[in-house]
Structure 1
């Protein structure tokens, strides 16, 4: 699957711009505190571990890989795939699709096509796949909620770190020279919490929500495409039906891709 590295580039750019702004205004090392980092990130991670089962937390790596998926290219390839499957089914019959299943990586498409080959009723196929779509949506929502919750916990633990720093500072009020530096250190944890929540955690949660919406939309396209193949719809008509799920930009990209394929 084609990768979209723009989210990672944007995140890196955000980190870089913040660091440059700090360097232009003062000393970078004055914004570094290992204890503050531990309180903010490790503390919020511990709270997250209390909130969610370990099995749910294990989905974090897979969710992080998902933010780089190129959903647009995925939709374009889907139109091309179902047009080809329709041509094959119209020419050689539905049973001929069995030979092409090995070349399809998407298990959802394979399941749909297998049900068509097995002669299941269209309503049965639609009902089964709708249940599968709902299950996928619920499963993806777990990862979204994890990052959203983490984004809410990080600033809270940043505030806890600030309170700890203020308590330590107030315990040393007899040393007036330590008040300024102590206040700076106390505020660093709040900075860390707001920084990671708003540049990393909450944006990842939003990205995953959009990816899930696109995936559900894509699976609805798959169900429609499979049912049209089962009904024996003309490949050209099927192509036009599936293209209605694409926005104008995606349709233009598909037309260009089709021209390049035909030219080759």
Structure 2
């Protein structure tokens, strides 16, 4: 089983990069399952139904979210029926719409996809370890392949989660920081790990936002409206993970970065 995961899709630039690059990657890499984080997909804040369907059409089988899940109010109108759109499972248990995990059939193989959010330097949420334990225990009864998108700021928290569930999940891949890390590895019991897969969108912004606003905020500390960068190059952060379908153990993990400084050759 080969899983392709695409990092945080950022605004219209991210949508464009996703549409033109993901179909190419799928033709060349032949993943059986493609997952993407879409929490920044609509104008950099949340996702609406139009963009959700757009990413699906371009190749996303499952879309995960994060701390900007509710920033676009329209999501509340369709997340309850969108079974392939999952938000962090540890959001205020029972108090918000949507689901935190899903099970998809890939040919005859079931794959569990779980989304959780960290608590270090993030907005309040329930304990991702406790919530993760409960859901992973449920998923283990149905499948040996479990993929986790851990949306968090602290690399230590993401790494701790991966080690805690080593051997019980196939992969723990981090999102949120928009900067791809260089620590892809397979832990001793077979869990693939990457602290952060990076982002998909503007390459010449600062984490996808216009440079001037971000630099100004650091220099003067005044309230600033951040807007997604619309000019310059584009980037795509991704990771490819091969998993043994019987055991659920990861066999290989390779991070992938595509941008003007790292062109992709077929």
TM above 0.5: no
Structure with more contact order per residue of length (Cα contacts < 8 Å, sep ≥ 6):
1
Q: Which has the higher helix share?
A: 1
Name which one, 1 or 2, has greater alpha-carbon Rg.
1
Normalising by structure 2, what TM-score?
A: 0.23
Normalising by structure 1, what TM-score?
A: 0.23
Q: Which has the higher strand share?
A: 2
